[in-house]
């Protein structure tokens, strides 16, 4: 529902503070308070009490409830944020993770007392192998970017084990920024390869850059334009002929699960994002998981510990001498893996296929339905997301950023904008498989009225949002100079 008037700015909880106000009557401390009787050394004792907000319990409850309602979230709004897969995730998986037996697990419990969770990790690895056409998986990386780093380290270690020095990684210009960043962190050098005008890998350019110095080619499939790489098999052969490995950034597996196994097309290693495709709510900086799958010849390089099943018993094994070593504490973000396990069991093989089919259907529905609004709408089918240029679509002086802000007024989270960088005024719309046709129709109708408004009263769009408590922020300053501390103004 559109918000009619801007909600008032919620004060900081410190500003609600009144000296001496208490939420609960606290019992008197049962340790001595007097300086000379205290068991705490004097040097460790505070001289002044902490400056905590002094508020009543209902103030606390209302404050945080109001803050939570100022949010755009998947639970309250349509959230078509491309390349992020902000879909609804079944609450059932959350319930399972919160069962006391799972919450109470300690990572240092001996394997004999952890057979259940080790079996779950083992089975999840096997299912991800089946879905991706890989031979082995590690569940340890805690995000897509850490999965990339793990993959690049595996490739580097593999080449080094064969006595080869290959410092270069080739990456298309449409890739996610984490790809070149991960390469740099792994101590290799990223070299960009240009895309063709229709957004695919330029195979001739790729061929010209392949040589004995190339360790890895990193391709995002489907790419960030939401397009499948039609010449993937041919590319894989070229890469292998040059002695390099083919890495797939599989963060956006929503278009492939159950339909296509990357391993069948020549991908040697890949990462996927459990917090996009496999039922972990995504965003807000919470924990995630970016498992990495490899073909058999790379499995000895996977990080340790690895879960193995020997004589019917599950164990954590560390003795893999060629392993890249540890990249995460214990077994990774096990709670996230557990959600993925529940999700896979809930959906089964057929359900998983419907995820992709419906994600692709929804994106193409929007592509066709929004085509009259955008002169540069892609003509060819897309996969899980549709990327369109806002160029020539809006009234005088109105940009994609303004339209994105105006969508907030109407109760929609904005799509990803200005990414990928190769599309001017880009809007990257990912509807996901979990939205109804009614929601998609309302989104189209709303965009249509904003485009219309951008011609009739452009200033209304360029000054949006009007109905949010905070309007435009200086995004560069917020990112570069975040000021997150409360300072009491004297």
Ligand X SMILES: *Cc1c(COP(=O)(O)O)cnc(C)c1O
Q: What are the residues binding ligand X (CB under 6 A)?
A: 83, 143-145, 176, 178, 220, 224, 249, 251-252, 273, 288, 290
Instruction: Give yes or no for a cis peptide into 465 (omega within 30° of 0).
Output: yes
Q: How far is the CB of 290 from ligand X (least distance, A)?
A: 5
Cβ closer to ligand X: 172 or 390? 172
Cβ closer to ligand X: 249 or 435? 249
Cβ closer to ligand X: 144 or 303? 144
* Closest-CA residue to 417 (of 119, 121, 83): 83
Q: Which tokens belong to 144?
A: 């897509």
- Report how far apart, in Å, the C-alpha atoms of 304 and of each of 121, 140, 325, 462 are: 14, 9, 6, 52
Query: Cβ distance 269 to 154 under 8 Å?
Result: yes
DSSP category for residue 224: T
SS3 249: strand
CA angle (32, 36, 40) in 5-degree steps: 65
- Report how far apart, in Å, the C-alpha atoms of 369 and of each of 136, 377, 427, 440 are: 41, 10, 15, 10
Cβ closer to ligand X: 176 or 367? 176
Q: How far is the CB of 178 from ligand X (least distance, A)?
A: 5
Q: How far is the CB of 292 from ligand X (least distance, A)?
A: 12
SS3 395: coil
Cβ closer to ligand X: 141 or 465? 141
Cβ closer to ligand X: 145 or 170? 145
In the chain, count H helices and then E strands. Answer: 14, 12
Q: How far is the CB of 181 from ligand X (least distance, A)?
A: 10
Cβ closer to ligand X: 374 or 419? 419
Q: How far is the CB of 411 from ligand X (least distance, A)?
A: 25
Other Cβ atoms closer than 10 A to 284: 7
Name the residue whose CB lies closest to ligand X: 144
Query: Cβ distance 129 to 135 under 8 Å?
Result: yes
Cβ closer to ligand X: 267 or 461? 267
SS3 392: coil
Cβ closer to ligand X: 168 or 336? 336
Q: How far is the CB of 277 from ligand X (least distance, A)?
A: 10
Q: How far is the CB of 34 from ligand X (least distance, A)?
A: 53
Q: Which tokens belong to 35?
A: 């300086």
Cβ closer to ligand X: 89 or 224? 224
- Please report the beta strands in 399-481, taking only residues with DSSP state E, as ranges in sequence order: 416-417, 426-429
* Closest-CA residue to 247 (of 262, 264, 231): 262
* Residue in the structure block whose two tokens are 């994105």: 404
With 0-12 CB in 10 A as exposed, 13-18 as middle and 19+ as buried, what is 475?
exposed
Cα 474 to Cα 73: distance, rounded to the nearest angstrom: 22
CA 323 to chain centre: 26
Q: How far is the CB of 85 from ligand X (least distance, A)?
A: 8
Q: How far is the CB of 439 from ligand X (least distance, A)?
A: 22
Q: How far is the CB of 274 from ligand X (least distance, A)?
A: 9
């Amino acid at each position: 529902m559109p918000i009619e008037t801007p909600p008032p700015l919620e004060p900081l909880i410190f500003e609600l503070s009144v000296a001496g106000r208490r939420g609960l009557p606290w019992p008197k401390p049962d340790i001595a308070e007097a300086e000379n009787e205290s068991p705490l050394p004097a040097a460790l004792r505070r001289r002044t009490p902490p400056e905590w907000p002094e508020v009543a319990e209902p103030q606390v409850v209302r404050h945080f409830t109001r803050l939570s309602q100022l949010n755009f979230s998947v639970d309250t709004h349509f959230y078509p944020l491309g390349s992020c897969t902000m879909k609804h995730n079944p609450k059932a998986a959350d319930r399972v993770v919160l069962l006391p037996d799972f919450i109470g697990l300690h990572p240092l419990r001996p394997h004999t007392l952890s057979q259940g969770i080790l079996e779950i990790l083992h089975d999840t690895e096997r299912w991800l192998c089946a879905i991706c056409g890989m031979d082995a998986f590690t569940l340890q990386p805690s995000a897509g970017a850490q999965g990339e780093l793990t993959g690049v380290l595996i490739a580097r270690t593999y080449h080094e084990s064969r006595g080869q020095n290959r410092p270069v990684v080739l990456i298309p210009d449409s890739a996610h920024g984490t790809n070149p960043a991960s390469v740099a962190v792994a101590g290799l050098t990223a070299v960009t390869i240009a895309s063709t005008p229709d957004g695919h890998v330029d195979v001739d350019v790729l061929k010209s850059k392949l040589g004995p110095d190339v360790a890895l080619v990193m391709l995002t499939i489907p790419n960030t334009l939401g397009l499948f790489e039609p010449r993937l098999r041919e590319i894989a052969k070229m890469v292998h002929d040059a002695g390099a490995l083919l890495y797939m950034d599989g963060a956006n597996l929503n278009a492939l699960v159950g339909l296509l196994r990357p391993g069948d097309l020549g991908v040697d290693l890949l990462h996927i994002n459990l917090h996009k495709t496999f039922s972990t709510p995504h965003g807000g900086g919470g924990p995630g998981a970016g498992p990495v799958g490899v073909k058999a010849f790379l499995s000895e390089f996977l990080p340790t510990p690895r879960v193995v099943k020997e004589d019917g018993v599950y164990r954590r094994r560390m003795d893999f001498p060629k392993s890249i070593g540890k990249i995460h504490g214990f077994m990774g973000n096990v709670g996230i893996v557990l959600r993925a396990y529940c999700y896979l069991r809930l959906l089964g093989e057929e359900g998983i296929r419907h995820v992709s089919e419906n994600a692709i259907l929804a994106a193409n529905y929007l592509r066709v339905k929004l085509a009259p609004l955008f002169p540069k709408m892609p003509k060819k089918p897309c996969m899980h997301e549709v990327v369109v240029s806002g160029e020539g679509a809006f009234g005088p002086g109105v940009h994609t950023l303004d339209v994105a802000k105006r969508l907030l007024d109407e109760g929609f989270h904005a799509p990803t904008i200005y990414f990928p960088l190769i599309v001017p005024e880009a809007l990257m719309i990912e509807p996901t498989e979990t939205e109804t046709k009614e929601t998609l129709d309302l989104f189209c109708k709303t965009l249509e009225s904003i485009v219309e408004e951008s011609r009739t009263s452009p200033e209304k769009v360029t000054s949006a949002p009007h109905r949010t408590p905070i309007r435009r922020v200086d995004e560069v300053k917020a990112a570069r100079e975040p000021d997150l501390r409360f300072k009491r103004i004297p």
